[in-house]
């Protein structure tokens, strides 16, 4: 059995193998070609966000196997900065981008630009625990953010673009806990 599985992997698995039991099906998806190589990729509910080496964010939704629409947004103009991490919420609406410089950004599917998270300056975000009960397209509701320094912050991000002139995206930002090690995995469960 093990030998047969190894041979299958060496030969390459076909679509027939995956769809034989009816659980999985493979279809060709024609994606638009990005302007530069990808560094990070996240997928949720048929929505895809990807970061490129040129610090742009690609957003697309494979609506059908034959047609994909997408947008490309500039994240940072600093040529020596790179995306550290990329986070997409479970409904595919909200995106947090953490840069190696410690700058952090937020955007959602309805926004045409990324906005800086001013209260998260100089933090390397390693994990985000999204609120799984959230169905609001303008707000993340309460989320937890973990950093490489072992800090956990609680925040609510609000993306009402009309508010950005006078206010920050962060409705509040408070340190929730401090560990001595980096926080790579956070999961928020509510009952």
Domains in the chain (CATH in brackets) are: 27-178 (2.130.10.10)
CB 121 within 8 A of CB 172: no
DSSP notation for the chain:
-HHHHHHHHHH---HHHHHTTSS-------PPPPSS-EEEEEEETTEEEEEETTSEEEEEEEEETTEEEEEEEE----TT--EEEEEE-TTS-EEEEEETTS-EEEEETT-SS-EE-GGGTT--EEEEE--TT---SSEEEEEEEEETTSEEEEEEEE--GGGTTTS-SEEEEEEEEE-SS----------
Residue 122's contacts (CB-CB under 8 Å, 6 or more residues apart) are: 102
CA distance 155 to 101: 21
CA distance 116 to 29: 33
* Cα angle 159, 161, 162; round to 5: 130
> Residue 142 pLDDT more than 80?
yes
Is residue 60 very low, low, confident or very high in pLDDT (cuts 50, 70, 90)? confident
User: What pTM did the predictor assign?
Assistant: 0.78
Residue 55's contacts (CB-CB under 8 Å, 6 or more residues apart) are: 74, 75, 76, 77, 78, 79, 81, 82, 83, 99
* Cα angle 97, 101, 103; round to 5: 45
How many CB atoms lie under 10 A from the CB of residue 19?
13
> Residue 62 pLDDT more than 80?
no
Which of 61-70, 118-127, 152-161 comes out lowest in average pLDDT?
Answer: 61-70
Is residue 46 very low, low, confident or very high in pLDDT (cuts 50, 70, 90)? confident
């Amino acid at each position: 059995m093990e030998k047969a599985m190894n041979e299958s992997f060496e030969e390459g698995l076909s679509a027939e193998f995956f769809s034989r039991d009816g659980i999985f099906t493979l279809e060709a998806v024609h994606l638009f070609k990005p302007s530069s190589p990808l560094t990070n990729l996240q997928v949720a509910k048929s929505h895809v966000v990807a970061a490129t080496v040129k610090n742009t964010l690609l957003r697309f939704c494979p609506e059908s196997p034959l047609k994909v629409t997408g947008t490309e947004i500039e994240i940072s103009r600093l040529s020596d900065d790179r995306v550290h991490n990329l986070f997409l919420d479970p409904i595919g609406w909200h995106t947090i981008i953490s840069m190696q410089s410690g700058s952090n950004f937020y955007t959602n599917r309805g926004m045409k630009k990324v906005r800086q998270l001013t209260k998260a300056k100089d933090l390397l975000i390693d994990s985000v625990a999204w609120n799984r009960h959230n169905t609001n397209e303008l707000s993340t509701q309460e989320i937890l953010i973990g950093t490489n320094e072992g800090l956990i912050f609680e925040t609510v991000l609000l993306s009402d673009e009309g508010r950005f002139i006078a206010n920050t995206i962060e409705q509040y930002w408070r340190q929730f806990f401090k560990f001595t090690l980096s926080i790579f995995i956070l999961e928020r469960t509510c009952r």
